[in-house]
Amino acid sequence: MKKLSLIIFVSFWSLITLAQSNLISNTGARKSLSLNGKWEYIVDPYETGFYDYRYKELKENNPDAYWNTDVQVNKTEKKEHGYVEKYSLEVPGDWNHQEPQFLFYEGTVWYKKSFDLEKAFGEHKFFLYFGAVNYRADVYLNGKKLGMHKGGFTPFNFEVPESLLKEKGNFLVVKVDNKRYADEVPTLNTDWWNYGGITREVKLMEVPTDFIQDFVVQLKKDTSGKAPDKTPEVEGWVKLNRAPAKGELITIELPELKYKKVFAAEGQLTALHFKLPKLQLWSPETPKLYTVIIKTKNDQTKDKIGFRTIAAHGTQVLLNGKPIFMRGISIHGEIPQEVRRAYSAADAAQLLGQARELGCNMVRLAHYPHDETMTRLADSLGILVWSEIPVYWTIDFGNPEVLGKAKAQLEEMITRDHNRASVIIWSVGNETPISPVRTNFMHNLLTRARELDNTRMVSAALEVNYSALKDKNIVDDPLGEFVDLVAFNEYLGWYGGLPDKCRTTNWDTPYNKPLFVSETGGDAKGGFHADSLTRFSEEYQEWYFKEQVAMFKRMPAKFVGISPWILADFRSPKRNNPLYQDGWNRKGLYDDKGNKKKAFYIMKAWYEQIKKEQQH
């Protein structure tokens, strides 16, 4: 009885907190005006855009602010800024790769876009939607501030009052600031490039006045260890932008299954619970997606959704009730050939295509939520996904505001992707050094992730207690108690000794849970050949992976997969070996030109062998 009331309390609580966010999901299905393309810019390292000459101080609300005015009104006007075509940047796209002056830039850039709009006035609302802006975005339209957002890898939207929109010459300005701060997420120190700018798509969306803001249509969580029923149960909800009128109905349709069900709207949030007819479950071998249509009186949206169950059961991970071994790879959201952030369907096709060539059925999208094109493509290719927020290394764990920032990013990540069958793990962070404050912080995030979505596993890449026992390393991070999957970053033979150390080392965890190696790897400069004892040579990396694979074969039965570090070389200001790194982390199995290194073939061969043995 106690347990039941707890469950009711938890879901009631999550319904209330879900109602607070105004993020719209499934935006690809919405009528919208793309604002991608050229945006004019002003680089502003001194924050002059806020400078008020009258008071000699920085003030957001002053007549000269860069968001407020554009060109000279008449020839006598003194104007010391302006937006012109000569200074323009492509959106989406980080600024770093677009102009040499931006390579190392961390600071403010003002972006401006003019647009016209054929407006359908009346029964509509407008939202400005950003796929991601790194890190802080202050958004102004036609001289009014719409809002501010922090967090470089998650979407956000602001409602645009219709009275603010003009048919011609709308003046949209975004102040983008990618300076790093100790109390942000991530914090000052990361092992990746702090690409700045409007890095993902921008659009003006039009929705009916009463609209479907978000929804979850997923198979009900099943921890019984059994395969889903022939007619599997769906559990979810539909969230409207506001409380519905009396008697409002919500219809769910899956045309391919000839399925239709009508629900009475219960409030802003309506819980869904129903059984689907017999269907093809989603899996890496059969990544079947069904069109799901959701209708209210005034609105309609549709998505393509795969149906599967995923759960940690004892020490195994069960996909549709069957144990699965994850042949993974970690991936950064970066296209090394062009030294830029990934943002497009073509970029996703490159990255996931490379992962498939390696023989993967899983990817760890490190260390932040990647572009939505990645999880969408993973859905249709049948690739399992670990998705993570940038709670990385030494976040200011004792600061409740920082926890709030991490939670906001977690919620945005989950809201965007909670209908993606591919996503099986929400990760709340990476290698966070053990202390009571950090465990409390991370536990909080894990709890929040479960409240928001109880159908997936939750995890984090944990710290290891090296040589706790002779020749046995133990993953006993106290956070292990709260995760579904005990994952750890391993690196034996790169950060500790030489690869032959793997011969005498074993791994375990005291937790009776599945064990996953979320990272392991070593640097090799593509094309640099030497003997296998020479660091940074392809031969060293090849030897490293040979020893690793041999060690993995001795892993305990609870070992359920691995995502080596990393698919491709990536930019990092921390990697300053002038001969071999030169500002690149070289742990890629592909080099920065897309060539496969020798180690690639070691992993590929092992993955092929596993695939044969396990038939999936």
Distances (CA, A) of 299 to 84, 336, 491, 528: 40, 42, 51, 58
Residue closer to ligand GCB, measured from CB, 212 or 461: 461
Residue closer to ligand GCB, measured from CB, 548 or 585: 585
Q: Quick check: 489 binds ligand GCB (CB under 6 A)?
A: yes
Quick one: which of 177, 191, 253, 476 contacts ligand GCB (CB under 6 A)? 191
Residue closer to ligand GCB, measured from CB, 325 or 494: 494
Give the footprint of ligand GCB on residues 223-282 (CB under 6 A): none
- Identify whether the C-beta of residue 212 lies closer than 8 Å to the C-beta of residue 145: no
**H runs (alpha helix) in 262-382:** 345-358, 372-381
In whole angstroms, the minimum distance from the beta carbon of 471 to ligand GCB comes to 22
- Identify whether the C-beta of residue 599 lies closer than 8 Å to the C-beta of residue 524: yes
User: Counting beta carbons within 10 angstroms of the beta carbon of residue 246, is it exposed (0 to 12), middle (13 to 18) or buried (19 or more)?
Assistant: exposed
In whole angstroms, the minimum distance from the beta carbon of 570 to ligand GCB comes to 8
In whole angstroms, the minimum distance from the beta carbon of 477 to ligand GCB comes to 14
Q: Quick check: 194 binds ligand GCB (CB under 6 A)?
A: no
Closest CA to 132 of 88, 76, 196: 196
**SS3 call for 42:** strand
End-to-end CA distance of the chain: 41
- Identify whether the C-beta of residue 528 lies closer than 8 Å to the C-beta of residue 538: yes
Residue closer to ligand GCB, measured from CB, 281 or 461: 461
Residue closer to ligand GCB, measured from CB, 35 or 483: 483
In whole angstroms, the minimum distance from the beta carbon of 577 to ligand GCB comes to 12
Quick one: which of 170, 430, 505, 509 contacts ligand GCB (CB under 6 A)? 430
Shortest-Cβ-distance residue relative to ligand GCB: 191
Residue closer to ligand GCB, measured from CB, 296 or 330: 330
C-alpha to C-alpha distance for 401 and 123, rounded to whole angstroms: 38
- Identify whether the C-beta of residue 391 lies closer than 8 Å to the C-beta of residue 432: yes
Residue closer to ligand GCB, measured from CB, 210 or 591: 591
Residue closer to ligand GCB, measured from CB, 480 or 522: 522
Q: Quick check: 193 binds ligand GCB (CB under 6 A)?
A: no
C-alpha to C-alpha distance for 380 and 287, rounded to whole angstroms: 6
Q: How many other CB atoms sit within 10 Å of the CB of residue 447?
A: 14
Kind of pairing between the strands at 559-562 and 326-331 = parallel
**SS3 call for 83:** coil
Q: Quick check: 431 binds ligand GCB (CB under 6 A)?
A: yes
Residue closer to ligand GCB, measured from CB, 172 or 366: 366
Size of the site for ligand GCB (CB under 6 A): 9
Residue closer to ligand GCB, measured from CB, 304 or 367: 367
Tell me the β-bridge partners of 331.
365
Q: Quick check: 587 binds ligand GCB (CB under 6 A)?
A: yes
Give the footprint of ligand GCB on residues 315-374 (CB under 6 A): 367
3-class SS shares of the chain: helix, strand, coil, % to 5: 20, 30, 45
Quick one: which of 482, 544, 565, 600 contacts ligand GCB (CB under 6 A)? 565
Q: Quick check: 548 binds ligand GCB (CB under 6 A)?
A: no
In whole angstroms, the minimum distance from the beta carbon of 580 to ligand GCB comes to 13
In whole angstroms, the minimum distance from the beta carbon of 395 to ligand GCB comes to 13
In whole angstroms, the minimum distance from the beta carbon of 289 to ligand GCB comes to 32
Q: Quick check: 412 binds ligand GCB (CB under 6 A)?
A: no
C-alpha to C-alpha distance for 419 and 28, rounded to whole angstroms: 13
Residue closer to ligand GCB, measured from CB, 565 or 590: 565
Name the E strands within 322-464.
322-323, 326-331, 334-335, 340-341, 362-365, 384-388, 423-430, 457-462
Quick one: which of 218, 422, 459, 585 contacts ligand GCB (CB under 6 A)? 585
Q: Quick check: 519 binds ligand GCB (CB under 6 A)?
A: yes
Q: Pattern 363-392, binding to ligand GCB, x per CB under 6 A?
A: ----x-------------------------
In whole angstroms, the minimum distance from the beta carbon of 325 to ligand GCB comes to 22
Cis amide linkage into residue 566, ω under 30° from 0: yes
Residue closer to ligand GCB, measured from CB, 67 or 135: 135
C-alpha to C-alpha distance for 276 and 260, rounded to whole angstroms: 9
Q: Which pairs with CB-CB distance under 8 Å and at least 24 residues apart come from 265-270? A: 265/238, 265/240, 265/296, 267/243, 268/19, 268/239, 268/240, 268/241, 268/242, 268/243, 268/244, 269/15, 269/18, 269/19, 269/237, 269/238, 269/239, 269/240, 270/237, 270/238, 270/240
In whole angstroms, the minimum distance from the beta carbon of 191 to ligand GCB comes to 4
Q: Quick check: 396 binds ligand GCB (CB under 6 A)?
A: no
Q: How many other CB atoms sit within 10 Å of the CB of residue 103?
A: 14
Q: Which residues contact ligand GCB by CB under 6 A? A: 191, 367, 430-431, 489, 519, 565, 585, 587
